[in-house]
Structure 1
Amino acid sequence: MADFLKNIVGGSKSPDTPIPSSDSDFADFADAPSPSPVPFESVAGGATLGGPAPTSVPYTKWYNVHERYTLNDFRAEGVILGIIAVVFTLHFIGTKLNRAKSRAWIKAHASVLTSEFAAVGFGRTSEKTPEKLLKAKSLFEYATYATGRQNVAFMDVKLTLKKRFNPVMTLIETALSFFFDSFGAPEDSVEAVIYPFDGKEAQIVPALPGAAELRSKDSKSTFDGFVWAVVNKDKMKQLREERYDLSITFTKDNSKLPIWATVMSESAEITETLLTNELASAIKKAGDLFDYIIISDQPVDKPTKMDETIPRKRLYLRYRLPSSNNYDDLAPLLSYFVRISDHLASSAHFRPEVIRKVRAVRDENIKQIQKAAEEEKAEERQAERDRAKKAKRDAELNALDAKAQKKYLEREKEKELRKSSKKQTVRA
Structure 2
Amino acid sequence: MADFLKNIVGGTKAADTPVPSSDSDFADFADAPAPAPAAFESTAGGATLGGPVPTGVPYTKWYNIHERYGLSDFKAEGVILAVIAVVFTLHFIGTKLNRAKARAWIKAHAPVLTSEFAVVGFGGTSKPDQDPEKLMKAKSLFEYATYATGRQNVAFLDAKISLKKRFNPIMTFIETAMGFFFDSFGTPEDSIEVIIYPFDGKEAQIVPAMPGAAELRAKDSKSSFDGFVWAIVNKDRMKQLREERYDLSITFTKDHAKLPLWATVMSESAEVTETLLTNELAAAIKQAGELFDYIIVTDQPVIKPTTMDETIPRKRLCLRYRLPSSNSYDDLVPLLSYFVRIPDHLASSAHFRPEVLRKIRTVRDENVKHIQKAAEEEKAEERQAERDRAKKAKRDAELNALDAKAQKKFLEREREKELRKSAKKQTVRA
Q: Same fold (TM over 0.5)?
A: yes
**Tell me, what secondary structure is at the counterpart of 1:181?**
coil
Quick check: 67-76 or 338-347, which moved more?
Answer: 67-76
Map Cα deviations across residues 218-271 of structure 1 (whole Å, 9 max, x no partner): 000000000000000000011011000000001000011000000000000000
**Tell me, what secondary structure is at the counterpart of 1:368?**
helix
Aligned-pair distance for 1:40? 1.7
Q: Distance in 2 between matches of 1:368 and 1:53?
A: 97
Matches within 5 A, 1:221-260: 221-260=223-262
**1:315/1:44 CA distance change after superposition, 3 Å:** closer
Map Cα deviations across residues 33-68 of structure 1 (whole Å, 9 max, x no partner): 2641335234583799xx9999xxx98755655444
Q: Distance in 1 between matches of 2:235 and 2:43?
A: 90
Amino acid aligned to 2:71: L
Other-structure match for 2:31? 33
- Residue 169 of structure 2: which of 167, 170, 182 is its match? 167
Other-structure match for 2:97? 97
Amino acid aligned to 1:242: E
Paired residues in the alignment total 408
Amino acid aligned to 2:27: F
Aligned-pair distance for 1:78? 1.3
**Tell me, what secondary structure is at the counterpart of 2:221?**
helix
**Tell me, what secondary structure is at the counterpart of 1:263?**
strand
Amino acid aligned to 1:402: A
Q: CA RMSD in A?
A: 2.6
Amino acid aligned to 1:29: A
Quick check: 416-425 or 226-235, which moved more?
Answer: 416-425
- Residue 404 of structure 1: which of 403, 406, 421 is its match? 406
Map Cα deviations across residues 316-371 of structure 1 (whole Å, 9 max, x no partner): 00000000000000000001110000000000000000000001111100000000
**1:358/1:28 CA distance change after superposition, 3 Å:** closer
Q: Distance in 1 between matches of 2:298 and 2:24?
A: 109
TM-score by length of 2: 0.89
Provide structure 2 residue ranges, at least 5 long, that are not aligned to the other structure: 1-13
Aligned-pair distance for 1:75? 1.5
Q: Distance in 1 between matches of 2:89 and 2:226?
A: 54
Q: Distance in 2 between matches of 1:61 and 1:406?
A: 95
Q: Distance in 2 between matches of 1:26 and 1:370?
A: 113
**Tell me, what secondary structure is at the counterpart of 1:213?**
helix
Amino acid aligned to 2:261: I
Other-structure match for 1:365? 367
Q: Distance in 2 between matches of 1:343 and 1:384?
A: 54
**Tell me, what secondary structure is at the counterpart of 1:270?**
helix
Other-structure match for 2:270? 268
Paired residues of 2:41 and 2:53 also in contact (CA < 8 A): no
Q: Distance in 1 between matches of 2:28 and 2:173?
A: 88
Amino acid aligned to 1:411: R
Other-structure match for 2:134? 132
Other-structure match for 1:306? 308
Map Cα deviations across residues 373-416 of structure 1 (whole Å, 9 max, x no partner): 00000000000000100111111011111111111111111111
